[in-house]
Amino acid sequence: MPSLNLRQVTVNFPFPPYDCQKDYMDKVIECLQKKVNGVLESPTGTGKTLCLLCATLAWREHFKDTISARKIAERLGGEEMFQKTSLSSWGTAATDGDTPTYYTDVPKIIYASRTHSQLTQVINELKNTSYRPKVSLLGSREQLCINQEVMRQESNHVKVHMCRGKVSTRSCVYYNNVEEKSTDRDLVNSILDVEDLVKYGNKHRVCPYYLSRSLKQQADIVFMPYNYLLDPKSRRAHNIELNGAVVIFDEAHNVEKTCEESTSFDLTPYDLASAINAVDRLLVEQAKEVSRGDSVNDFNVESLGSGLKLDIDTIAKIKQILLDLEAAIDSYDIPSDKGITKPGIFIYELLERAHLTYSSKTAVYEALEQISGYLAGQTGIFLNTSGLQKLSDIIQLVFCGEPSEKDRQLQMQTNTAHFKVHIHKDTSYNKKKQSADVWASASSKKQGNVLSYWCFSPGFSMQDLVNQGVRCIILTSGTLSPLSSFTSEMRIPFPVSLENRHVIERDQIFVSIIEQGPDGVHLSSAFDKRFLPENMASLGNTVVNLSRVVPHGLLVFFPSFPLMEKTLEFWRANGQADRIENLKPIFVEPKGKGTFNEVIDGYYSKVNDPASKGGSFFAVCRGKASEGLDFADTFGRGVIITGLPFPPKMDPRVILKMQFLDEMCRRKAPGLKYLTGQEWYKQQAFRAVNQAIGRVIRHKEDFGAIFLCDQRFKGTDARAQLPSWVRPYVRLYDRFGNVVRDVSQFFRVAQKLRPVIEKKAAAESSGTVCLPDAQSSSSTFLSSSQSCFAPKAKALDAHLPSLKRRKLNEHTGAKGMAQICIEYECEVQGSQRRPANLLDALERGDHRHGEDGDAGEEKAHHLSTLRLQNDKRMDNELRGGKRKIKLVQEQKASMSEDVSEEDKAIRAKKFLAEMKKSLSQVNFDRIIEALQTYKKKDDLDVLLTETAVLAEDANTHSLLRGFYQFVRPHHKKRFDERCQEMTGQGCGFKPDHTLSKDEKKALMLQSTSGKTSTAGLTTSTCAQLNTQQLNRGGHHLTQQGVRQPQTASVAKNEVHAAFLSDVKKALGAEKSAQLFQAIQSYKKTENYENLVATVVSLFTERDEDFHLLVRFGVFIRPHHKKQYKEMLDALIGQSTSAADVPAVSEDQQRAGGAPSSSPLRTQSKISSFFSSSQRM
C-alpha cells in the first residue's frame, strides 16, 4: 500500500493519490496539528471521504507516537534515543509544554454525517484502508432496538420511555448481556455499520443500541448523524464527550440548516392539548386512589407501583402551567393569513406568564420527565405523551446554562440574539378533542395559535461546540462555495480553507443550459410559468428526447414534490410519460422513507438488466436521492435539472431569515461578512442544484451529461453559482437540436475512450469467471456452470472490433453467434493463439461444436420458437439481408427447430427429479400436489403459495424459476414478476410467451411467407465478403449487402414532393413552413449546423415522425452526408453508409411510405444502440 509523508506524518493510502488528494490531506493534517478549524471543499468523485479518514487516522497514530517519544526522552534524561530523529520532528504535540503525556489523552475523533446511509458508505471506505481503529456507531432505538415489545409501540417517545423502564428494572434480556459482550475482542476490533450491529445483536442476543454506546467509551473514532452532535438534547442523551475531541462534519453543506433546526421549535395547540390530556388522565387515576381511603397528605403515586415520586398537588400544578401557557399563546388575536413577530428575548416574557423561569425550570423539567416515563410504561389505553416530551425539550433549549441571578439578564440576551418569536394561526387539522370540563384545553373550543421560536444563525450551535473544548472542527463537502459567506455565518474562525479541483478530464463531462424545448417554448420553473400547459409539455418533450440519447440511467430532478407530482400528472394525461416509459421505465422517489429502498433497488435492477434500455429516476432537489446516494457509472449517465429549487418566498420563516441577514449586514460587525437576504435566497437554490449535479461524476473514470433545463441558468450570476469544476464546461444552447447532436457525439466518444468494466465475481481456482447472479435477471433458470460461459462471449469483441456494435446479451444462452463466441473463446484458452480473422474464428468454433454444444442446449429449449424467429428477423433487418455463410445458416437452422413434446416431457422429468433431491419429501409432495391443482383449476395463487418455499434458500432459486415451463401462457408474466420479487431475478419473460400454440403457429407461418420476399445476398455478394474484408472491422457487418444498381424511374423532384407532402401531414402548416425555410436557407448558405438543429427539433418531438428524419437525407448535400449519417447513427442506432443516406429507397419515398420498421421498432433501435455501445 503506497505511503506518503505530509507535514512529517506518514499517511498510508490504498493507491497512489492524485495531486488534489495530497492537497486535501495536507490541509486536514494542518488543522489537526495547529488545533484550528478548517473548511474544505472537494468535488464529488475526488475521494474526499477516503482522504479524510486516512489523514485523520494517520495523524492520530502519529500523535500516539509523540507521546511514546516524550516518555522515552524523559526516561533517558532528555537525551535523544533516535539520533536521526529529533524530538521536535514528531510535531508540535511532542514539544508543546501543555501536551498530555497519557495515552488516554489521545484525541477521540467524532465523525458526523447527515444520515446513516451516508455513514454506512464512510464505514465501507474505512474498511478499504490499512487502518483498523476501534470504532463505534451511534444510532437511535428506531434503528438498533431488537426488543419486539418496545418496537411495537407507535410513537418514538413511548419507545424511549419503555426502553428506559426495562433497562432500569433489568427486564430486557438483550440489555442484560451488554456488559458481558462489550468486552468481546472480536467485536471491539471489528468495523461494523448499523446492519452489522443488528445482525450481531440478534445472533448473540445482546442490545445493539446500548452495545454501541458501550463501545463508544473505548472507541478511537465515533460515527454519528450530525444532529446527535448539534442538538444539545441529543448530545446529553447520548453522553457525547467533546473536550479535546476532533470534530468532523462530512456533507457539511447541510450543517447550516441542521444547526438552525436543532435549536428551533414549533409548539402547536395539539402538542399542548395532548400534554394536558395526559396529565389530566394521571390526575383522574390518582383521584380514584384517594377515594379508596388514602389521605391526600400521605398519598404518593408509588402506590400505583410505578416508582413515580410526585404528589397530587405537584401534578395539578403541572397541569395549571400547561393551561396558563396555552392561554398566553392564544391571547394574541392574529389575522388568518399573517402572524406576529417578536424579538427572541420575548420568549422569556411569554413563558413567565406560565410560571416558567430560570428558578422553576429544573423542578418543572423533572416533573415532566417523571410523568412521561410513568405514562409510557402503563399498559392498556395508549396515551400520547409527545406534547410532554416537547415541553421538556423546550425548557432545556430556552433555559440553557446556569447563570447567577445578576448575570441572568445578560445570559438571556446572549441566548436569544439570533432568534425570533413568531406566533401564527394553526392551519393544521391535527387537533385533539378534550373532555368538556373546566380543566379542558381551550384548543378544543377554538382555533389555537402556534408558538414558533426560530434560530437564524448556525453560529449559535457552532459556538456551543467550541465552548465544549473541542480540539478543532473540520467542515467538508463537495458544495460549500462561496466559502467566505459560508464561514461568516458559522461565527467561528476558519484559518484553513481549500477549494479543490476535480480529477476528471474535459471529455468526461458535458454541461448544457437548455433555454428552450424541441418545440421552441422557453423552459422555466418560475412561479408564474411552472404550471402552464405549454411549458410542461415542452419540458416533457425535452425529457423524452434526452432519454433517447443518454444511455442507461437518467436522473431527473424537480424543484419540489408538488411540482413533480403535478408535472407527472400532466405528462400521463398527454402521453409524454408513456413515451419516456417506453424508452426508460420511470421510477419516482417516494415522499416517505418506507418504500424508498424498494424503489431505488428497482431502478438499479432495471439499469443493470442487460435486456433493458436503462431506466429513469425522478426525484426532487434536497430529497434523499440528491443527498449522498451513489449513481456511479451506468446508474447515472445523465442528470436533468428541471428548474431552480428556491425556498418558498412567502413562507414566514424564509421572510424572517432574509430580514435577519439584511439586519446583520446593516450592523457590519467587524471581521464578519454576512450574506444579504437575497444572496442567501439564491444560494439555497444553487446549493440544492449543485448537490443534485454531483450525483453523476463519482470517480476518476466516470463520465456523464448535465442538462440545466431552465432559461434562468443562462445568466452570468447564475452560472457563477455552479461548482467551480463545472463552470469551465458550461455551454449555452438556444436551439434544442444542437444539444441532441452534441450530446450524442459526447457519449459516442466517451464510451469508446472509457468502456465500462463489467462487474464480475471473484475468480475460482480454475480461472473461470462467472457473472453475479443478480445480473442475470433476463434469463430463465441456469446452472452456475452454464452462467460461467457468459463472460467468455466478450473476448471475440476484443479481438474483432467489427462485432462490437453487435454485442449479444450475455445471458440469452441461445445458440447461433453467441455459441460461436463461446466456442471460439474455449479454443483461445486452449491454444493461447489469436485467430487471424473472423472466418478462422468461426472454423475453430466449428471444430469444438460437438464438445461444448450442450452448454447452451438447455437455455435454448427455454426460448420459444417464435422468439428465435423474431431474433432472426431482427438480425436480418439490422444486417440488411441474410449472409450466405454456411456455418451461420446451420446454426440458425438448429435454433429454429421446434422443441418436440417428447423433449419437453423429458426435460420436465429431469427438472422434477432435481427438485426432489433438493427438497424434503413433505415440501416436494406439497409442491407436486399444487402443480396438479393448477393443472385442473388454473389457479396460479395455489402454485405461488406452495412454491414460495423455494425462495427461502438461494440454492433453490433456480428451481423456482424452473416452474416457468409449467406455467400457462396467460400466467407467465405474473409468475415472472413474482420470481423477480422473491429472488431478485426474473424468468426471462417476453411478450410472445403469452401467445398460445395456435397463435405462435400463425405468426411463424406469416414469418416464413415473409422470408421469400426478403432481399438476400446473391452468390456474387457472398464472394465479396472475403476474410480480409471481414477482419477490418467496420460497418459492413451491420449494413445491407452490396446493392444492385438502382434504376431511378421517377425524377428526383417527385421524391422531394412526396416527402414534403408527408411532412405537412405530420407537422402541420406552421412547422412545415419552418422546415421549408430552413431548407431554402441551406441551399443558399450551406449552413449545415442550422439546418440540422431545426430538423432534429422538429422530427424528434414525436416518435412517429422519426422516419421523416431518416428520409430527410435526400436534401443533404454530398459533402455533408457523412456528418448526417453519424447523427443518424447516434439517434437511431442503425449504422448507414454515408453514400446511402437516406436509409429508405426512393421508391418508398415516392410512395410516401415510412421505413420498414415501425416507430416502436425505431425506439428499440435507439435504445439498443446505446445499450450495445455501453458494453463495448
- Secondary structure, 3-state, 333-391: CCCCCCEEEEECCHHHHHHHCCCCCCCCHHHHHHHHHHHHHHHHCCCCCCCCCHHHHHH
Give the pLDDT of residue 653.
Answer: 92
Task: State yes or no: pLDDT of 1039 exceeds 60.
Answer: no
| Phi, psi for residue 1009 in degrees, rounded to 5 | -65, -30
SS (H, E, C) 784-850: HHHHCCHHHHHHHHHHCHHHHHHCCCCCCCCCCHHHHHHHHHHHHHHHCCCCCCHHHHHHHHHHCHH
- Band of pLDDT at residue 980, cut at 50, 70 and 90: confident
Residue 474 has pLDDT above 70, yes or no: yes
* Three-state SS at 970: helix
Residue 821 is assigned to a ligand binding site: no
Least confidently predicted of 38-52, 70-84, 413-427: 70-84
Rounded to an integer, what distance in angstroms lies between the CA atom of residue 613 and that of residue 796? 23
449-455 and 419-425 strand pairing: antiparallel
Q: What is the pLDDT of residue 1147?
A: 45
Length of the chain: 1176
Please state, as a whole number, how many other Cβ atoms lie within 10 Å of the Cβ of residue 331.
Answer: 11
In angstroms, the CA 124 to CA 110 distance is: 17
Q: CA–CA separation, 708 vs 644, rounded Å?
A: 9
Sheet containing strand 449-455, edge to edge, reads 265-267, 449-455, 419-425, 339-343
Residue 1111 is predicted with a pLDDT of 83
Please state the pTM of the whole predicted model.
0.63
Question: Which residues, including other chains, have CB under 8 Å from residue 595's CB and lie 6 or more apart?
Answer: none
In eight-state DSSP terms, residue 310 is -
Least confident of 333-337, 480-484, 944-948, 1141-1145: 1141-1145
H/E stretch holding 36 reads none
Class of domain 506-749 (CATH, top level): alpha beta
Cα(704)–Cα(750) distance, integer angstroms: 9
Question: Measuring CA to CA, how many Å separate 842 from each of 297, 686, 795?
Answer: 102, 57, 14
Q: pLDDT value at position 1154? A: 43
The answer to whether residue 947 scores a pLDDT higher than 50 is yes
Whether residue 862 contacts residue 965, with contact meaning beta carbons closer than 8 Å, is answered with yes
Specify the range with the lowest mean pLDDT, choosing from 585-594, 1048-1057, 1070-1079. Answer: 1048-1057
pLDDT grade for 1140, boundaries at 50, 70 and 90: very low
Between 414 and 779, the more confident residue is: 414
Quote the mean pLDDT of the chain.
75
Burial 1138-1166 (b: 16+ CB within 10 A, else e): bebbbbbebebbbeeebbebebeebbbbb
Q: What is the pLDDT of residue 924?
A: 84
Q: Which of 1013, 1032, 991 is nearest to 876 (CA)?
A: 1013
Q: How many CA atoms lie within 13 A of 624 on its CB side?
A: 16
Contact 332, 449 (CB under 8 A): yes
pLDDT level of residue 1141 (50, 70, 90 thresholds): low
Report whether 401 contacts 362 (CB < 8 A). no
- 292-314 pLDDT tens trace: 755 444 444 444 445 567 888 89
Distances, alpha carbon 1111 to alpha carbons 665, 977, 1058, 1066, 1098, in Å:
63, 40, 11, 13, 13
Dist CA 21 CA 9 (whole Å): 15
Of 244, 220, 240, the closest CA to residue 232 belongs to 240
Enumerate the domain spans of the chain. 263-466, 506-749, 773-899, 902-995, 1050-1174
Coil, strand or helix at 226: helix
Question: H helices then E strands: how many in the chain?
Answer: 52, 20
Cα–Cα distance between 586 and 1037 in angstroms, integer?
34
pLDDT value, residue 79: 52
Give the containing element (helix H, strand E) for 1093: helix 1088-1099
Q: What share of the chain is helix, strand, coil (3-state, %, to 5)?
A: 55, 10, 35
Separation CA 546–CA 1097 (nearest Å): 12
Indicate the DSSP class of residue 106.
S
Return the SS3 of 404.
coil
The DSSP call for residue 1018 is -
Out of 8-22, 796-810, 903-917, give the one with best mean pLDDT.
8-22
Has residue 695 got a pLDDT over 70? yes
DSSP class of 92: G
- Is residue 163 marked as binding? yes
Least confidently predicted of 508-517, 689-698, 711-720, 1053-1062: 1053-1062
CA-to-CA separations, 953 to 957, 982, 983, in angstroms, rounded: 7, 11, 9
More confident residue, 704 or 832: 704
The whole-number pLDDT of residue 705 equals 95
Contacts of 855 (CB under 8 A, 6+ apart): 785, 786, 789, 822
C-beta pairs of 587-595 under 8 Å, 24+ apart in sequence: 587/615, 587/616, 587/617, 587/618, 588/564, 588/617, 588/618, 588/619, 589/617, 589/618, 589/619, 589/620, 589/623, 589/624, 589/625, 591/561, 593/624
What is the number of alpha carbons within 13 Å of residue 868 lying toward its C-beta?
A: 22
pLDDT at 559 over 80: yes
Looking at the chain, the whole-number percentage of residues with pLDDT higher than 70 is 71
Vertex 109, ends 107 and 110: CA angle to 5°?
135
pLDDT given at position 247:
96
For residues 431 and 414, is the Cβ–Cβ distance under 8 A?
no
Classify residue 467 by burial, with Cβ atoms within 10 Å: 0-12, 13-18, 19+. Answer: exposed
537 or 1152: whose pLDDT is higher? 537
Q: Note the pLDDT of residue 1096.
A: 82
Q: What value, to the nearest 5°, has the Cα angle with vertex 39 and ends 36 and 41?
A: 150
∠ CA 742-746-750, nearest 5°, is 175
687/402 Cα distance (integer angstroms): 38
User: Known binder of ligand: residue 172?
Assistant: yes
Whole-number percent of the chain with pLDDT over 90: 28
d(CA 976, CA 13): 46
3-state secondary structure 591-625: CCCCCHHHHHHHHHHHHHCCCCCCEEEEEECCCCC
Residue 271 has pLDDT above 60, yes or no: yes
3-state secondary structure of 549: helix
Of the candidates 1093, 1095, 1056, 1089, which has an alpha carbon nearest to the alpha carbon of residue 1075?
A: 1095
Amino acid identity for residue 637 in this structure: R
Which of 707, 558, 622 has its CA nearest to residue 253? Answer: 622
In this structure, the number of other CB atoms found within 10 A of the CB of residue 465 comes to 21
pLDDT over 70 (residue 826) = no
CA angle 538, 540, 544 (to 5 degrees): 115
Looking at residue 508, its amino acid is: Q
3-state secondary structure of 10: strand
Tell whether 259 is in a known binding site: no
757 φψ region: left (φ > 0), alpha (ψ -120 to 50), beta (else): beta
Distances (CA, A) of 845 to 516, 730, 833, 838, 852: 54, 50, 13, 11, 10
The count of C-alpha atoms lying within 13 angstroms of the C-alpha of 1055, restricted to the half-sphere facing its C-beta, is 19
Which of 961, 916, 926, 965 lies closest to 946, judged by CA? Answer: 926
| End-to-end Cα distance, the chain | 32
